[in-house]
Amino acid sequence: MKSQIIQIGNSQGIRIPKALLIESGVSGEVELVLHDEGILIRRAGKPRSNWDAVFESLEETDDDLPPVDDGPRDEFEKRQWQW
């Protein structure tokens, strides 16, 4: 399918036919990804959208979260600091 780049105010854009938007499921916020052959338009990813699956996999394997590396400690932290 072909489309024209058009002037939209001080910017430029393209018109995407409604049927193509409905079939692709793309709406609202989108991501634009630059490729060698052009620009890819796709649904915007939602942060933390896969957390449920991650938590379920942890429950199934009975694993804990990996330990956190607190980094180097100085003498004060080693001997005097207490929570």
**Domain contains 11:** yes
**Domain contains 9:** yes
CA distance 58 to 6: 50
Position 48 scores a pLDDT of 76
With 70 as the cut, is the pLDDT of residue 24 above it? yes
Which comes out higher in pLDDT, residue 8 or 46?
8
Work out how many domains the chain is built from and give that number: 1
Mean pLDDT across 35-56: 83
Structural domain span for residue 18: 5-43
- Tens-place pLDDT, residues 26-42: 888 898 999 999 999 98
Position 10 scores a pLDDT of 94
Burial of 22 (0-12, 13-18, 19+ CB in 10 A): exposed
**Domain contains 72:** no
Position 23 scores a pLDDT of 92
**Domain contains 59:** no
**Domain contains 33:** yes
The answer to whether the pTM exceeds 0.85 is no
Tokens 């003498």 belong to 75
